[in-house]
Amino acid sequence: MAQQSSPVDYVNPLIGTESKYELSNGNTYPAIARPWGMNFWTPQTGNMGDGWVYTYTADKIKGFKQTHQPSPWNNDYGQFSLMPMTGKPQFDQEKRASWFSHKAEVVKPYYYSVYLADHDVTTELTPSQRAAVFQFIFPKTEQAYVIIDAFDKGSYIKVVPQENKIIGYSTKNSGGVPDNFKNYFVITFDRPFSYKAGVRNGNIKDNELEIQDDHAGAIIGFPSLKRGEKVMAKVASSFISFEQAELNLNEVKSKTFEQVADEGKNNGMRYWGVFR
């Protein structure tokens, strides 16, 4: 990723995040997104459904969430999250959570990175307009996992191991959506799964590859990894269909993480060059 400073590097997405329900002040979250992007991504320190999705004073991250939230008072719609972990696979948001420090957090509009101390994993993400690329940098381990949480209020997950892929949808919303509302998503990984499980309302079901319920999720694991080895995930979504989500994935399908990050930085430079 290019290191030369530009106007977009002076943008601090953490401004306004030292807020809470009891003191309505700031009320922002770090939105990692392209200008006018369809989807934003944010580290999630709050509980599922909490409008205060990220607060600066929190010390644990529970997932990395795709969000469309305009404000904590309006809350979110069509959200889902990814979370890497090591050790015994856990789905519960408190058990999978990891301590983090702002000293090991890099926050740019086009790039986010944080070290998850409990799992010894660094997570990096960079978005396009309708998709995103993740890099999970694991320690030496035989217990490397990624949790996909489609949230409650009606969701669906299907693991497709022969394609290193997961598809699903979330219907969670705070009102103002049509009756048939769904946020369809597709996630592809750069290596095969050594572990596969569906999650039904918090219960982990080994080798159950398709779940439709109030709260669906999945956990996938990877073969023995060397320290510093990167697992890449490419994610896209659509409010129309799985087929459209697959088409949206083409924004990043043939690109490296660095290419998407550099495009995001250059896109931000043009935007700030116009409005500064």
Q: Quick one: what percent of the chain has pLDDT higher than 90? A: 89
Contact 138, 144 (CB under 8 A): yes
User: In this structure, what DSSP letter does residue 102 have?
Assistant: G
Q: Residues 217-227: what's their mean pLDDT?
A: 96
Average pLDDT, stretch 39-43?
A: 97
pLDDT over 80 (residue 4): no
Q: Report the alpha-carbon distance of residue 125 to residue 127 in Å, rounded.
A: 7
Collapsed DSSP state (helix, strand, coil) of residue 258: helix
Q: Model confidence at 270, in pLDDT bands (50, 70, 90)?
A: low
Contact 151, 172 (CB under 8 A): yes
Mean pLDDT computed over 100-129:
98
| Whole-number pLDDT of residue 82 | 98
**Type of residue at 155:** S
Strand partners, 116: 121
Residue 247 pLDDT exceeds 50: yes
Phi and psi torsions of 258, nearest 5° = -65, -40
* CA 76 to the chain's CA centroid: 14
Cα distance between residue 153 and residue 172, in whole Å: 5
**Averaged pLDDT score across all residues of the chain:** 94
